[in-house]
Homo-oligomer: A and B are copies of this chain.
Amino acid sequence: MEKSVIVGVDIGGTSVKLGIFDIEGNVIEKWEIKTRKVEKGAFILHDISNSINEMIRKKGISKTSVKGVGMGVPGPVMPNGFVEICPNLGWREMNPAKILSGFLGGIPVRASNDANVAALGELWKGGASGYKTAVMFTLGTGVGGGIIMDGKVVNGIHGLSGELGHMTVNPSEEVQCNCKNHGCLEQYASATGVVRIVRRILEKNDADSCLRRAEYLSSKVVFDAAIDGDMIAGLAVDTLCMYLGMACANCAFIVDPEVFVFGGGVSKAGDFLIEGIKKYYYKFTTLTNKKAELKLATLGNDAGIYGAAKLMF
């Protein structure tokens, strides 16, 4: 008897990552293709379908062995799979899961938001494995997030749950966020956010800092300097950790998860970041939700294909 497989698809603005998984959740093959965004993204699902067919042929897997395809979409997905608008791909008013299923001859397909799917991947095989309820922050250029409860992705009624980067954490902020609001978490806890904080501190503070002589300021440069004891860098990281710890506490007062997971480029700062966030998480939680764990993501860019596949398990 032939073995069953599940395909996980993680659609990004630049590339689509794909993975074939066996029933135990082991990767049989993973690969990626370009995201063709022309014609309002009309070719993306077709390309995915062709690429899956090609790869299973190459691996000698029959079409009937493919039991399902899970898909992460870089935008809001309603609980029924409907996508109202996805500017990252050009999509509008469509149900990508239904369409991909049609292209694949009726194989069941489920879709969810990419950040929620990445959180599910981390819960299944990554930094949050062994837990059932998790909140994940993806700290990249922006801040994304995903919520998992009882092992299931929380999509939200409008497909917008887990948009953690746009929680307001500082209503007194004067600078505007990309979303036009003021004081969003993303303005402090992203790679661009921490650099912005550093520039602000450097302007207002006369203290010496290796960052004044840095050719290029990035989140990595700032964190490395903070780890080396640079005072200005330390202040900036502390600000990031304060707002992130506060955002975690606010999540805890709402959904009270077992674990918080941190992924994305900024999370490469590792335990130094986790310890910084913990300090403020403990400050802003006063009840027993202090017990929640704070952990690093471990799957990196593969979290999406794992979580997408898990949608079908």
Contact = CB atoms under 8 A, between A and B. Distances in A.
A277 to B, nearest CB: 14
A84 B167 CA distance: 31
B288 A158 contact: yes
A122 interface: no
Interface string A167-194: 1111110000001110000000000000
B181 A256 contact: no
B286 A179 contact: yes
A249 B289 contact: no
Contacts of A292: 157-158
Copies of this chain, count: 2
B286 A158 contact: no
A84 B253 CA distance: 17
Contacts of A257: 156-157
Contacts of A172: 172
B171 A242 contact: yes
A52 interface: no
A163 interface: yes
Interface of A: 76, 84, 133, 135, 147, 149, 154-164, 166-172, 179-181, 242-243, 246, 249-258, 283-284, 286-289, 291-292
Please give me the 10 A-B residue pairs with the lowest Cβ-Cβ distance, nearest first.
Answer: A156-B256, A161-B256, A160-B256, A179-B286, A163-B253, A167-B250, A160-B289, A157-B258, A167-B253, A158-B288
Q: Do most interface residues of chain A lie in helix, strand or loop, or is the interface mixed?
A: loop
Given A169-B171, A171-B246, A253 B160 contact: yes
A286 B180 CA distance: 8
Contacts of A179: 286-287
Contact of A170 (B160, B171, B254, B286): B171
Contacts of A159: 256, 288
B149 A154 contact: yes
B249 A168 contact: yes
Contacts of A84: 288
Given A167-B254, A171-B170, A242-B171, A287 B160 contact: yes
A268 B8 CA distance: 50
Contact of A158 (B170, B249, B284, B289): B289
A157 B251 contact: no
A169 to B, nearest CB: 7
Nearest to A290: B158
Nearest to A134: B157
A76 B291 CA distance: 14
A282 to B, nearest CB: 11
